[in-house]
Amino acid sequence: AQKITQTQPGMFVQEKEAVTLDCTYDTSDPSYGLFWYKQPSSGEMIFLIYQGSYDQQNATEGRYSLNFQKARKSANLVISASQLGDSAMYFCAMREDRSARQLTFGSGTQLTVLP
């Protein structure tokens, strides 16, 4: 079974609009972390935001927020006020604390911001 599922291979959003990128996960580990990374065409993997499984509040970092719904096992990324520079591949990833703490990645969502 897929541990991280990103069902949107590609998304388009108009500049200055908000966009939600979906991520669902599967784990039986009670302690885990969820991450979002951005990968522009240049290839570097840029950390955006982190949510711990025991965190009560949804994480926010500037224009990024994570809509964490633990019972539904979803961790959607919300980007507010999209900018042209937000065009990139976005990966959701999970770290299970019982494991070697490596990240398991989803297949990614290619976001294109339209002017």
Partner 1 sequence: GAGVSQSPSNKVTEKGKDVELRCDPISGHTALYWYRQSLGQGLEFLIYFQGNSAPDKSGLPSDRFSAERTGGSVSTLTIQRTQQEDSAVYLCASTGRATDTQYFGPGTRLTVL
104 binds partner 1 (CB under 8 A): yes
35 binds partner 1 (CB under 8 A): yes
CA distance 41 to 59: 26
- For 86, phi then psi, to 5°, come to -80, -10
Residue ranges in 5-34 that form contacts with partner 1 under rule CB under 8 A:
33
113 binds partner 1 (CB under 8 A): no
Among 24, 65, 77, 95, binds partner 1 (CB under 8 A): 95
- For 84, phi then psi, to 5°, come to -55, -35
- For 71, phi then psi, to 5°, come to -65, -30
Q: How far is the CB of 63 from partner 1 (least distance, A)?
A: 18
**How many residues of this chain interact with partner 1, rule: CB under 8 A?**
22
